[in-house]
């Protein structure tokens, strides 16, 4: 659970960091939330794929 | 003044502005953006880097030291990443280890200095690994901010 919490927090920080770094003013929030969702989904997907090897 | 000389002096001014923005960005995360007039971004970047750094410290993260035996290249890159946090990095290092230590003088670990003993002890704490990652990422974030502030200051980016 702690691991999941850190993953959510760190991916959120990184998503909004890159949103403010790369996206234009009007699209920042959309960019940030989209990137956050993609990072979390990709991490969960990868962890499920790796589950049989754990 | 002819046009060539004028453009050369302008270039010098632009480069000076870029360097100042970069140095300010290193001194305080977001200060480079504040200098070039991006106030909102400056505040957001400061808060994000400060939050990442704080999470690293609250999770008992370790700052990297050069380990010439086990990871000569990677450990140096990690130290560079930590240093990108700014002048606060050596201060944090001295507070958590009792002295400013950058090199593991005894990679075998048989007679570690008190600072390196402290670092080793921290590495066994429950969330230390998470914390070390936060600290590395805070430095990498600020490194990109330095380049971004430079780009805005020289007019390569808005």
A5, closest residue in chain B (CA to CA): B130
Task: Note whether A10 contacts B141, CB cutoff 8 Å.
Answer: no
B145 chain-A contacts, CB cut-off 8 A: 21
Residue B105: the pLDDT is: 77
Helix, strand, coil share (%) of chain B residues, nearest 5: 70, 5, 30
B133, closest residue in chain A (CA to CA): A10
Which portions of chain B are predicted below pLDDT 70?
A: 1-10, 107-109
Task: Note whether A20 contacts B41, CB cutoff 8 Å.
Answer: yes
Q: What's the pTM value of the predicted model, to 2 decimals?
A: 0.88
Give yes or no for B44 touching A (CB within 8 A). Answer: yes
Kindly provide the ipTM of the predicted complex, given to two decimals. Answer: 0.89
Residue B7: the pLDDT is: 52
State whether the Cα torsion B95-B100-B106-B111 is positive or negative: negative
How confident is the model over A25-54, as pLDDT tens digits? Answer: 899 999 999 999 999 999 999 999 988 876
* φ/ψ (deg, to 5) at B144: -65, -35
């Amino acid at each position: 659970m702690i691991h999941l919490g850190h993953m959510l927090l760190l991916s959120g920080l990184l998503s909004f960091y890159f949103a403010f770094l790369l996206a234009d003013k009007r699209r920042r929030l959309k960019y940030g939330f989209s990137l956050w969702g993609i990072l979390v989904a990709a991490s969960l997907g990868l962890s499920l794929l790796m589950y049989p090897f754990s | 003044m002819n046009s060539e000389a004028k453009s050369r002096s302008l270039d010098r001014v632009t480069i000076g502005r870029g360097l100042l923005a970069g140095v300010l960005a290193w001194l305080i995360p977001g200060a480079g953006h504040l200098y070039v007039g991006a106030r909102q971004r400056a505040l957001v970047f400061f808060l994000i880097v400060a939050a990442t750094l704080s999470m690293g410290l609250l999770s008992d993260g370790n700052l990297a030291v050069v380990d010439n035996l086990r990871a000569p290249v990677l450990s140096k890159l990690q130290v560079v990443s930590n240093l990108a946090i700014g002048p606060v990095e050596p201060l944090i290092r001295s507070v958590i280890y009792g002295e400013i230590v950058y090199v593991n003088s005894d990679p075998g670990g048989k007679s570690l200095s008190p600072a390196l003993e402290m670092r080793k002890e921290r590495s066994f704490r429950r969330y230390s690994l998470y914390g070390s990652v936060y600290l590395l990422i805070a430095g990498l974030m600020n490194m990109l901010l330095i380049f971004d502030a430079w780009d805005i200051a020289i007019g390569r980016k808005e």
